[in-house]
A = this chain, B = another copy of it.
Amino acid sequence: MTGFVSIVGAGPGDPELLTLKAASRLRTADLVLHDALVDPAALGLASHARFLYVGKRARRKSIAQSTIERLLVRAARRGERVVRLKCGDPFVLGRGGEEALALAHAGIPYEIIPGVSSAIAAPGLAGIPVTHRGLASGFAVVSGHAEQAFAPMLRAIAPQSLTVVVLMGIANRARIAEVLVDRGWPAQHPEAAGVLVIGEVVSLAEALSAATATAVRAA
């Protein structure tokens, strides 16, 4: 008997921002493999499950992606209902696609349950719309993790054409701002450095309130 894997987006860190479907899968899970920034209250919904922490954090020793994939396949082969709980949305810089491919190749039935992406919700919870009539009718989301990834992407976007959201860019924020200004973004542009989204983004709302007030006055 083969089990089933649900690759589930946990949203931006507030357990109330889980979807009904995510909550339902957690309630019936036998095993939950979860990331670093998932809220304990969300895990609390999985009342019958065993938990396996497979988080990766910048600059810390962490579990290999191939190990996570092997754990998912093994648990499903034992017949378990597995929830792979990922921050935000599983398909936004979360390597959900790689895990889905590994399951597909191993012949394990699985589903993707989308989640509220931090890329949109973090600025949103701070009162900053990623699109706004007359200001921006589109936005881009890029990884700020490594310069060889973010620099070409930021250079590929014409200045002030789209709202730019940089995820996992806190360590590189000075370099990100430099690349944007080199590309032609005005140094005084309120979005010049992007919104740097880190960790438990819900708690950013307070830190960003000054920026929000400015944005609302400007609108």
Which applies to chain A's interface (DSSP): helix, strand, loop or mixed?
mixed
Give the residue of B94, B121, B140 whose beta carbon is less than 8 angstroms from that of A114: B121
CB distance from A141 to the nearest CB of B (A): 6
Task: Please name all residues of chain B whose beta carbon is closer than 8 Å to the beta carbon of A89 when the two chains form the complex.
Answer: 116, 120-121, 124
A124 & B90 in contact (Cβ 8 Å cutoff)? yes
Q: Is A161 interfacial (CB-CB < 8 Å)?
A: yes
**Contact status of A132 and B16, CB under 8 A, knowing A114-B120, A117-B117, A156-B158:** no
Task: Please name all residues of chain B whose beta carbon is closer than 8 Å to the beta carbon of A19 when the two chains form the complex.
Answer: 11, 16-20, 116
A112's closest neighbor in chain B, by CB?
Answer: B124
CB distance from A1 to the nearest CB of B (A): 25
Complex CA gap A219/B98 in Å reads 9
Q: Is A152 interfacial (CB-CB < 8 Å)?
A: yes
Complex CA gap A95/B137 in Å reads 10
CB distance from A172 to the nearest CB of B (A): 14
Given contacts A89-B121, A114-B125, 14 further A-B contacts (CB under 8 A): A9-B116, A14-B21, A16-B24, A89-B120, A90-B129, A91-B123, A92-B131, A97-B219, A100-B129, A114-B116, A153-B161, A156-B161, A156-B162, A157-B161
List the interface of chain A (C-beta within 8 A of B). 9, 11-12, 14-21, 23-24, 89-98, 100-101, 104, 112-117, 120-121, 123-125, 127-133, 137-143, 149-150, 152-153, 155-158, 161-162, 216, 219
4 A-B pairs with the lowest CB-CB distances in the bound complex, closest first: A156-B161, A97-B129, A138-B142, A156-B158
> Please, could you name 10 A-B residue pairs with CB atoms under 8 Å apart, sorted by A?
A17-B20, A92-B120, A104-B216, A112-B124, A115-B116, A117-B120, A137-B149, A138-B140, A139-B140, A153-B161
